[in-house]
Amino acid sequence: MNVGCIPSKALLQSSHHFEVAEKEFTSHGIQTNGLKLDLKTMLGRKDKVVVDLTNGIEFLMKKNKINYIVGFGEITAPGEVTVKGDQKQILETENIMIATGSEVAPLPGIQIDEKLIVSSTGALNLPKVPKTMAVIGAGVIGLELGSVWRRLGSEVTVIEFLDVALPGMDAEISKAMGRTLKKQGMKLKLKTKVTGAKKSKANVTLTMEPRDGGKADTLKADVVLVAIGRRPFTDKLGLDKVGIKVDERGFIPVDEDYQTNVEGIYAVGDVIGGAMLAHKAEDEGSVCAEIISGQTGHIDYNLITGIVYTHPEVASVGKNEEQLKEAGIEYNVGKFPFSANSRARTNADAEGFVKILADKKTDAVLGCHIIGPQAGDLIQEIVVAMELSASAEDVARICHGHPGLSEAIKEAALGVGGRALHI
């Protein structure tokens, strides 16, 4: 919340407003002569959003009579946590849940100083808009924060080792996003490896080479953002003192109840691997607490959504085409473009499409992938459908309000059976 999801989304929203005012308001009959950026105020708003939400959580802690202790915790013995804060405290407990999240994964040869070479944390607090920015990594974090600074005036180049932006997403979605980013003015250098960085007083010179071999090259940028992923944060937690095992990548293995190899010690979220997403971690924490209290809980990991808050947004749930092909599952595809959706057209926000995958024999929805306006919200309809084992036909027969973006979901579901109405 403090340095991840919330501040980045606040800046994404503010920078989107700025770009819309700068480039699109005129077409709506709104004159914006004298428009200018007040970065200090924008960053201040971001900070206020974070403070308000953290204060809200603290209030909920008190309301629900939960002891809330600020400090660094270390497991010093089974059933014992030592907290170092304003004063040292030793807490005795029957159960311990490790939910320490993750930290920025380092890139060998690239030293982050949070000034010229920054992590996602530093990229949230740049004192001025850099004239040029290089982003190492075309994943979610790199594209979201790269989008923020591009909108505010920076010339952004994204360097990615793999073949596409947003690797791991449905290939058609990844390719569409790549085209969109280029259209927006973002430069993409795919299949490229960063081999080093040389800092001067005012900028950084990156050395690069083609992934598959070829001539080396350089790129100079005022700011470099390292966004190659995250790793579990388990340093100095005392895991070794109580014999908690970690795998070769530092993740904590757990059983189906989220218990580690040590009885009474549990782990959830980024530290156990899988998708490093706040909503996944939140659900795991809730289920783990239920299990500890003697209840039952369950998470269907196939229904965990992946969302990218660029513009347009990207959202995904279930299997993509590549996974279905690899598993040998026969499927049908239904697609519908937002350019044929009346609400998207009236909003002048009609880029992208909805793609629904359904079992060829049973018509059960197997996955959904969206690039377009409000994709992160629209995808939830499909999550509910999949949770209830609905078919594409079931989704298609639901009456969707008109004019609404959700009609694109209905049309894509109709498209599974070759019956889309408006294309």
Q: Among all residues, which ones are annotated catalytic?
A: 402
Q: How far is CA 131 from CA 152, 204, 223, 224, 274, in A?
A: 10, 12, 9, 12, 36
Which tokens sit at 192?
Answer: 């490229």
Torsions phi, psi for 370 (to 5 deg): -130, 135
Cα(332)–Cα(319) distance, rounded to whole angstroms? 13
Which tokens sit at 7?
Answer: 């501040």
Contact 297, 288 (CB under 8 A): yes
Cα(78)–Cα(410) distance, rounded to whole angstroms? 53
Torsions phi, psi for 189 (to 5 deg): -115, 95
Torsions phi, psi for 113 (to 5 deg): -120, 0
Contact 105, 230 (CB under 8 A): yes
237 C-beta neighbours (distance < 10 Å), count: 20
Query: Which has the closest alpha carbon to 85: 75, 95, 96, 74?
Result: 74
The DSSP 8-state label assigned to residue 245 in this structure reads -
Which tokens sit at 29?
Answer: 């009959």
Residues facing 368 on adjacent strands: 317, 356
Cα(73)–Cα(83) distance, rounded to whole angstroms? 4
The DSSP 8-state label assigned to residue 88 in this structure reads E
CA angle 65, 46, 131 (to 5 degrees): 150
Query: Which has the closest alpha carbon to 213: 233, 192, 227, 186?
Result: 192
Residues facing 92 on adjacent strands: 80
- In this structure, the strands spanning 102-104 and 96-98 are unpaired
Contact 207, 218 (CB under 8 A): yes
